[in-house]
Structure 1
């Protein structure tokens, strides 16, 4: 089918609560569900899932779709394709169903009935350049570095469809059984950040929601899947970072330690931002911000485990320290973790995982409180000091909405004023 495909709706579109806008989603779902789109993808070897019926009282089309072609009850993983099976805690009509609430992703099966996700991506964007870069990498490279591979890119006028294997979401369901499970997630995420950073790619939306696992059954299946529990216990689960729609790819000759972005760009992405720009900074280091974001996510999920897994105290403090110049890079955090794990007896990681009972914010929580004194001394260089009064004052001041842009403006002006004498004296010395 050689019909020229066009996108009939504005994309991307920037509105408040995009995921909740009924009109936008209805228009996007109608596009994906049209016979012409089905035939276009079918001609290229992909059979799109079918949308489940809309409920009588629903305001918009059902956001769940299900495969059209049959699969075996359980399918073994064969990289890059994951384990999948027909477990469903609810209706059997939803077996292997997939959910999308953005209207920019559709699911399909290829000519071998393997399940894939297809994402609409605007051309001439950072995202498509990053996906093209990943497409050029070998499967072995992406497997080693815990990134979702790009299987195909189908270009049309102004846009492309990026095809990737369908993996599972909600990696925190079910909860880890042991510390080994926790370490596996942390290790994978650090690897998945180190490789893009090495190639000057800033993710800008690091969170557990943007990590996938090589097993799926049913996006409507509930929090406990017995097959995933068994796969995790057997050490067969692997994790991969994805979703580069707000990412930035900077030129290869840029020095990462000196690269900065405007403070407003630090607000983009997930809910777990570090406080790097919460004092009215006018710019920020986005590579360090990625690390801080991941560190804050780890703190939220795992900092309570530092008494059982002491290496978490220096690792997390090193990732979220307010002193940006001393903050771990992604590669340094990964190396630290691997070095310390190499000195840890295997049986230590078999300790049982337990949920947090303390929800103290990451920059106020004492991760060192229960560590043995010899380990506190060993890792003292990484220990983050308490919040100074000046930082607390600046954060309080910056919390007023009317000052959100005023303080960065003042700080930028002051920076240039203080910098002028230095630049002037340097110029005089050069003349002589």
Structure 2
């Protein structure tokens, strides 16, 4: 099944073992395929810091050389399942920052390190029984909401970046890494508010894009201690933002200062009601009301 929003993507099932996958049709005349191949080289693929989605297979079409099919695991947008504990959020932030730092270490600017390109392997959290086009509902019956577990109960979670369609790889000794042109989903960044004009450092923009996602999650009740990190990542002056490695190490140090009790503190959507919170805390329910609230994190991505 495909969607009108992403017409070049379809879900499928691998015949050999029933694994649920996604197939993306990628043009062969762009840098996307070489970028995918580079990030999936054996030596890079085995590096645990590499958070680029794994490629299961690449298929050439028999009747055209203009497109190739890229087969990947079927993943879920990482914010759909509500965060329940401080430690869950810290783990997700660390994974994505480590992944972005890995990209940058290899001279790659993602250029679209935004919410809709940030995924998680949800198999242990949801049983992977979500509908591809309506992810909060079950695959077998789209009138029913999925059941979900707390992320910490199935840790460690695996998070991935997808879509390197506009990513750019620079030689490691390149002195001028600024560029103009097409950018990603989030046009609310400081450097874009007056329109995109002139060259921009895409590595600093990556930091701000990711920081903007984090800043919206930090609006959960109980996450104010992470605000200084997101503030640095989204500073109006790109040159003042930390590098991906610097902000990753800052977060590593911050999380190391937390006690087990700190990490086990509950976090909540501001919009969640006391009744819903009580039901979730009981451990007997996964309230569907919380599945509806992820749209609160996406004001300029998704129509409510």
Give your verdict on TM over 0.5: yes
| Residue 203, structure 1, aligned to residue 110, structure 2 | yes
Determine the C-alpha separation between the residues in 1 that align with 2:19 and 2:250.
Answer: 38
Pairing partner for 1:165 from 40, 59, 73: 73
Q: Is the 8 A contact 1:151 1:164 kept in 2?
A: yes
Moved more, 182-191 or 215-224: 215-224
The corresponding residue for 2:190 is 275
1:287, CA displacement in angstroms? 0.7
Correspondence 1:173-188 to 2 at 5 A: 173-188=80-95
In the superposition, relative to structure 1, how do residues 329 and 354 fare at CA in structure 2: closer, same or farther (>3 Å)?
Answer: same
> Residue 162 of structure 1: SS of its match in structure 2?
strand
The corresponding residue for 1:344 is 258
The corresponding residue for 1:328 is 242
**Unaligned regions of 5+ residues in structure 1, if any?**
1-50, 52-62, 64-98, 358-432
Correspondence 1:30-429 to 2 at 5 A: 63=2, 101-110=5-14, 111-138=16-43, 141=46, 143-156=48-61, 157-167=65-75, 169-215=76-122, 216-219=128-131, 220=134, 222=136, 225-226=146-147, 228-255=148-175, 258-262=176-180, 264-265=181-182, 268-271=183-186, 273-279=188-194, 281-303=197-219, 308-310=223-225, 312-356=226-270
Q: Is the 8 A contact 1:261 1:285 kept in 2?
A: yes
- Using the size of structure 2 for normalisation, the TM-score is 0.74
Determine the C-alpha separation between the residues in 1 that align with 2:105 and 2:80.
Answer: 30
> Residue 70 of structure 2: SS of its match in structure 1?
strand
Determine the C-alpha separation between the residues in 2 that align with 1:350 and 1:122.
Answer: 45
The corresponding residue for 2:293 is none
> Residue 23 of structure 2: SS of its match in structure 1?
strand
> Residue 164 of structure 1: SS of its match in structure 2?
strand
Determine the C-alpha separation between the residues in 1 that align with 2:52 and 2:260.
Answer: 26
Determine the C-alpha separation between the residues in 2 that align with 1:138 and 1:151.
Answer: 16
Determine the C-alpha separation between the residues in 2 that align with 1:275 and 1:245.
Answer: 23
Q: Is the 8 A contact 2:218 2:227 kept in 1?
A: no
C-alpha RMSD of matched pairs (Å): 2.5
In the superposition, relative to structure 1, how do residues 335 and 175 fare at CA in structure 2: closer, same or farther (>3 Å)?
Answer: same
In the superposition, relative to structure 1, how do residues 317 and 171 fare at CA in structure 2: closer, same or farther (>3 Å)?
Answer: same
Determine the C-alpha separation between the residues in 2 that align with 1:108 and 1:100.
Answer: 17
Determine the C-alpha separation between the residues in 1 that align with 2:215 and 2:105.
Answer: 24
1:221-264, Cα deviation, whole Å (9 max, x unpaired): 526532x3245433243211111122222233323xx41112x5
In the superposition, relative to structure 1, how do residues 173 and 352 fare at CA in structure 2: closer, same or farther (>3 Å)?
Answer: same
In the superposition, relative to structure 1, how do residues 218 and 279 fare at CA in structure 2: closer, same or farther (>3 Å)?
Answer: closer
> Residue 276 of structure 1: SS of its match in structure 2?
helix
Aligned residue pair count? 252
1:326, CA displacement in angstroms? 2.1
Determine the C-alpha separation between the residues in 2 that align with 1:123 and 1:241.
Answer: 21
1:17-39, Cα deviation, whole Å (9 max, x unpaired): xxxxxxxxxxxxxxxxxxxxxxx
Relative contact order: is structure 1 or structure 2 higher (C-alpha 8 Å, sep ≥ 6)? 2
**Unaligned regions of 5+ residues in structure 2, if any?**
123-127, 138-144, 272-304
Q: Which structure: greater helix fraction?
A: 1
Determine the C-alpha separation between the residues in 2 that align with 1:177 and 1:304.
Answer: 10
Determine the C-alpha separation between the residues in 2 that align with 1:353 and 1:333.
Answer: 23
The corresponding residue for 1:377 is none
Q: Which has the larger radius of gyration?
A: 1
1:143, CA displacement in angstroms? 4.4
